[in-house]
A and B are shown apart, each in its own frame.
Chain A
Amino acid sequence: MAIEKEKLLWMFRNMVTIRLFEERVAEYFAAGKIYGFVHLYVGEEATATGVCANLRKDDYITSTHRGHGHLISKGGDLKLMMAELFGRKTGYCKGKGGSMHIADVELGILGANGIVGGGFPIATGAGLTAKYNGTDQVAVCFFGDGASNQGTFHEALNLASIWKLPVVFVNENNMYGISMSQKKSMNVPDVAARAAAYNVPGVVVDGNDVLAVYEAAGEAIKRARSGEGPTLLECKTYRYRGHFEGDPTVYRPKEEVEEWKKKDPIPRFENELAKMGILAPDQAQAIKAEISKLIDEAVKFAEESPWPSLEEITEDVYAV
């Protein structure tokens, strides 16, 4: 598969952006400047990147509590994201949502979600809108391995399959639902096996290989766009940090984390790009430095932004 150089570089930049954004969030969370719960996407960057590299601006996604990577990949604005995490008026949700509820409906981002499994039916409904309106838009539903044990997973896959809706269910299998290993939480080795129950394709891919994700998601999205219905795509990946910031991660061996760090999607892709002659080491460094600056600016924007005014508490409950 020949992928344009521009797209390959976008993927690299995007993965780096997610990584550096998340690392900065961890810092500011530890410093007490970011509030509430944050669930970081570090280690899983290839998945959101590879999937969203196939999407158009008018496509939809639903995200999860671990959503920053999805939002960045769908075009989310770093300043507005950071300001939201800081609880400021200028944030994506005017400081009313926080990490678990960032959305940008204009970009088709129908929200991160604080309820595990909450996004399945919503993505299905977005797919219904596309089909109802006769467009070729698609909806991508990101979810974790733990979420696939929720009833909404099964209800949404069933509905999307009988109605042949353009929905791609993208499982980010990071092997744990908080502390519970996927091995203990389900009686099948692969989440994708569950696709058989709905007679839709179930595909397993290395979620740390951005090009493999790009290709597999591309197939699923093409299928959805052409009216052939949903796909369940499972991306095997790993989160380097805890479930949330502050999680002592007593439930997994250190060796396991070290093993997965050897499969880090970013250096891996960087090496591939170097081999292809697309990205020299100094260029990669320059990109990282440039993105780091963008994140500095996002933090500066957030820190300098005002808090919401107290009158705003009762605004935005109802639409006119």
Chain B
Amino acid sequence: MRKLTMLKAINEALRQEMRRDPKVYVAGEDVGIFGGCFGVTAGLIEEFGPDRVRDTPITESAIVGSSVGAAATGLRPVAELMFIDFIGVAMDQIFNQAAKMRYMFGGKAKVPLVLRMPCGAGGSAAAQHSQCLEAWLMHVPGLKVVAPSMPYDAKGLLISSIRDNNPVIFIEHKFLYGVEGEVPEESYTIPLGKADVKKEGKDVTIIATMAMVHRALEAAADMEKDGISAEVVDPRTLQPLDNETIVNSIKKTHRAVIVHEAVKFAGPGAEIAAMIAEEAFDYLDAPIKRVTAPFTPVPFSPPLEKEFIPSKEKIASAVKALLQE
């Protein structure tokens, strides 16, 4: 099958949805002729013009808020925030307006809005351009949170997100944009709230998100040589979370290691661990372990940043320690 980078897969999802539905438009900083800060929207303005590929000023509250208003009145905006780190400036419009409108109005509004935002460390962009903040958003009733790891997933999940009638936060790890994978040319959807087993195994379940899926797969490949069979589960959607796939894997392996790049305390893994403890405690043969960033802002200097991001070695050593228990 044809291979595409995750960046191109996302671009193709946007293009196909914009062709299918004239109510879909893109808005954000530099999304037009510049093609987006990372190039995700490249070429869209040439095909769809400036009314549907709307360059905005640097105005995150208005980018999100105007999308909320447009969505509530019948359009299907796909807004880009240049970095997830910028949501703080727009947070009221995300968590008090977009997320709650339907509930507050007694179910009489729908807000079909997608907010795309890159996250993640790895380029010495330091503390305000490198974070993983998915836990903030998972915590808000009314939002859905999607966090793909593979180009195939990114395309199918983005198409589903655009067709969803709720506000969807679509998180793109910026160091996955260049990752290649098989992606069908035709349009397809992947349901939100459905995890994917990226590698089957029998000794331990590694639940990993976004870039950490790749580190987990590398660690799993390395551990095969030591006779350890790790299963790697990618939730793909963090809200709603696919409890069933995770629990089924643990029923098989009896051990769970959760890996994410977000910081540990109250990170996404805290919720996953709590869910496992509630729903699969009897199947566990060992405590749940988490491999995460330390509880610090993202540091700038390359060796510090490298230490910040969970590595395949740290994942493997956590798995091995767990297997000793």
Contacts and interface: CB of A to CB of B under 8 A. Distances in A.
Contacts of A60: 73
A243 interface: no
Given A122-B65, A132-B75, A159-B66, A91 B106 contact: yes
Given A124-B62, A152-B65, A316 B106 contact: yes
A97 B104 contact: yes
A55 to B, nearest CB: 15
A94 B102 CA distance: 11
B322 interface: no
Contact of A155 (B61, B68, B74, B112): B61
Given A120-B65, A124-B62, A155-B59, A129 B70 contact: yes
Contacts of A124: 62, 65-66, 69
B30 to A, nearest CB: 15
B107 A316 contact: yes
A315 B107 contact: yes
Contacts of B77: 125
Where chain B touches its partner, the secondary structure class is mixed
A104 interface: yes
A97 B96 CA distance: 13
A125 B105 CA distance: 18
B62 A155 contact: yes
A96 B142 CA distance: 14
Interface string B58-91: 0101101111111111110100000000000000
A122 B72 contact: yes
A242 interface: no
A254 B68 CA distance: 42
Interface string A64-103: 0000000000000000000000000001111111000101
A268 B97 CA distance: 38
> What size tier do the contact residues of chain A reach?
35 or more
Given A162-B57, A318-B166, A320-B165, A92 B66 contact: no
Contact of A316 (B74, B75, B103, B112): B103
Contacts of A120: 62, 65
Contacts of A276: none
A105 B97 contact: no
A129 B69 contact: yes
Nearest to B105: A103
B110 interface: yes
Interface residues of B, number: 42
A62 B101 CA distance: 12
Contacts of B103: 96, 316-317
Interface in A144-186: 151-152, 155-156, 158-159, 162-163
A128 B165 CA distance: 19
Nearest to B165: A319
A248 B296 CA distance: 46
Contacts of A16: none
A122 B97 contact: yes
Interface string A290-318: 00000000000000000000000001111
Interface stretch (A110-118, A189-197, A203-211, A223-231): A110-118
Contacts of A159: 56-57, 59, 62, 66
A115 B92 contact: yes
A126 interface: yes
- Most A CB contacts (10 A, CB to CB) among B65, B68, B93 go to B65
Q: Which 9 A-B pairs have the closest CB atoms?
A: A125-B69, A121-B65, A316-B107, A93-B106, A94-B106, A155-B62, A125-B66, A122-B69, A101-B104
23 contacts: A96-B103, A96-B106, A97-B105, A101-B105, A103-B104, A103-B105, A105-B108, A106-B108, A110-B73, A110-B109, A118-B96, A120-B65, A121-B64, A121-B66, A121-B68, A122-B68, A122-B69, A124-B69, A126-B72, A129-B75, A132-B25, A133-B74, A152-B92
Interface of B: 25, 51, 54, 56-57, 59, 61-62, 64-75, 77, 92-93, 96-97, 101-112, 141-142, 144, 165-166
